[in-house]
Amino acid sequence: MLRILLLAAIGAVGRAQEQPVEASFSGLYGGTWGNEFSQTSYEIVGPITGMKIWSGSLTLHGIQVRYGTVWSGVSGETWGTMVEMDLQEGESVVQAQGSYSSWVVTSVTFTTSLGRTFVFGNQSGTSFLALPVTQGAVLRAISGRRLEQEKHELRRRLEAREAEWEMRAAELEGDLAALRAQLGHQRLEQQDTSRESSQALLQLSEQNQRLAEQLSQRLCLTYGK
């Protein structure tokens, strides 16, 4: 099983010409793992007229593009939430933006020449903006990499475990901070108790001194008789 790893917006055409007269490449986004795929050969079939992208909560799973009236094969996997983009006659994709992590594309948004936007996936990670170099150019094809499902699952589990460790470390740091605060509070209580004991001893000493003075005075009166 495969998953889409990253996308590259490529190609440019003149407005009055069917075939590309020059091309610009943007990307690549999302890392360098996985097997490469390229749909540049579909450019001769026709312009991009539609697209299907499957995604989950954390990543894009698969992509299929319609060139003219012909659908490409699916690059990646066809599970998760599928969102379809259906372009009108003469409408083209003029801008792509989205987000990616260190190893996978998490979201992509296409803006068309009619001002419409199509959002796939959920924004997460580093943002990117892919614009054509030539004014008036449009998106002509999609290329990228797709990650084998088994490797993806291992990497996902590793990242989940790392996140779990980080959360546990944060909890331990919080517990340590709480223990330090409790120890500090106990020390303050001990200091207060020691201070109160010192004051009690001082008061007791003063009382003893007064009793001794009173006893001495009485003894003096007795001797006076």
Contact between residue 61 and residue 54 where contact means Cβ atoms under 8 Å apart = yes
Residue type, 139: L
- Tokens read off for 83: 């969102």
For residues 93 and 102, the model is more confident at: 93
Q: What share of the chain has pLDDT > 70, as a percent? A: 73
Degrees to nearest 5, angle at CA 177 with 175 and 180: 110
Average pLDDT over residues 20-29: 61
Q: What share of the chain has pLDDT > 90, as a percent? A: 18
Report for 86-90, 170-174, 189-193, 211-215: range of highest mean pLDDT: 86-90
pLDDT for 93 equals 92
pLDDT for 152 equals 54
Return mean pLDDT, the chain. 76
pTM over 0.85: no
What pLDDT, in 10s, does the model give residues 34-88?
A: 777 777 788 788 889 999 998 888 888 889 999 999 999 988 888 888 999 999 9
List phi, psi (to 5°) of 19. -90, 150
Out of 2.100.10.30, 3.90.550.10, 1.10.3730.10, 2.130.10.10, select the CATH number for domain 2-160: 2.100.10.30
With H, G, I as helix, E, B as strand and everything else as coil, classify residue 164: helix
Alpha-carbon span 24 to 121, nearest angstrom: 25
Alpha-carbon span 156 to 103, nearest angstrom: 10
pLDDT for 14 equals 35
What is the DSSP track for 21-51? SEEEE----S-S-SEEEE-GGGGGT--EEEE
Domain boundaries, the chain: 2-160
Least confident of 11-20, 34-43, 89-98: 11-20
Identify the band that residue 17 occupies on the pLDDT scale cut at 50, 70 and 90: very low
Alpha-carbon span 140 to 67, nearest angstrom: 9
